[in-house]
Amino acid sequence: MADVRRDPSTDEAVTATEAVGKDPEMVELEARHRRFVWPATIFFLVYYLALNVLAGTSPGLMGTKLFGQFTFGYLFALSQFVMAFVVAWVYTSWA
């Protein structure tokens, strides 16, 4: 059963979840979270989709050999893993 309390200012029943949601610290935390997550998500999706778009539209660029048989396409694909860890690291330092 939910923990229900009365809000003294309005005499309405308030659950613990509603009380936490109205807490100014929680409101600020949610705002900071949104300010980071939306731009980071958009950046990472564009970065991720760029691999597919470049592979389809610029095979010459993606097939450019950097050294030996290692091409720009391989480098870009491997950089996706690095970028995932970078975004996670930046998020942990932001939060």
Q: What is the pLDDT of residue 1?
A: 46
Output DSSP code: residue 2. Answer: -
- pTM, two decimals, is 0.65
Question: What is the gyration radius of the CA atoms in the chain, in angstroms?
Answer: 23
Average per-residue pLDDT in the chain? 83
In angstroms, the CA 72 to CA 66 distance is 6
Tell which wins on pLDDT, 11 or 19.
Answer: 19
At 42, the pLDDT band (50, 70, 90 cuts) reads very high
Q: Which residues pair with 70 in a beta bridge?
A: 67
Angle of CA points 46, 94, 47, to nearest 5°: 10
pLDDT digits (tens, 9 = 90+) for 58-78: 999 999 999 889 999 999 999
